[in-house]
Amino acid sequence: MNRNSRQLRDSLAASPSVYGQEALGVPREEPEGDPGDLGWRVVEVLGKRRTDVTEADVEVMARTIGLIEIRLANPPTRDSDAEQWRRGLMLLGHDPLDSG
């Protein structure tokens, strides 16, 4: 993840409230579900003090990082799919175009 909670919250807030999973390049059978839903959970975790983080929060972050790694390892093969792929990653807290 290379985006802070403010950047992630801004991306999520700017996104339509209901995304079809296929529009984000997420296969329907993907167990992680909608990246936007997971992204909001990440915002909640990032907003907590370290002492308030639960095991469930740690699992959310681990699942999110795992999903980001999978998506980064499988970039789109067509330029027309690149923006959807990037948007899906940004809804999880990672911008593949940001090296920082």
Q: What is the pLDDT of residue 67?
A: 93
Q: What is the pLDDT of residue 62?
A: 96
Residue 5 is encoded by which pair of tokens? 């909670």
With a CB cutoff of 8 Å and minimum separation 6, the contacts of 33 are 21, 26
Q: What is the pLDDT of residue 94?
A: 94
Q: What is the pLDDT of residue 56?
A: 95
Element of type H or E holding 62: helix 55-73
Dist. CA 21–CA 47, nearest whole Å = 26
Report CA dihedral (46, 98, 63, 26) to the nearest 10 degrees. Answer: 120
Dist. CA 88–CA 92, nearest whole Å = 7
Q: What is the pLDDT of residue 11?
A: 86
Q: What is the pLDDT of residue 18?
A: 43
For the chain, 100 residues long, give each residue's pLDDT as a single digit of tens: 898 899 998 888 887 644 444 444 444 444 445 666 888 999 999 999 999 999 999 999 999 999 999 999 999 999 889 999 998 899 999 999 987 6
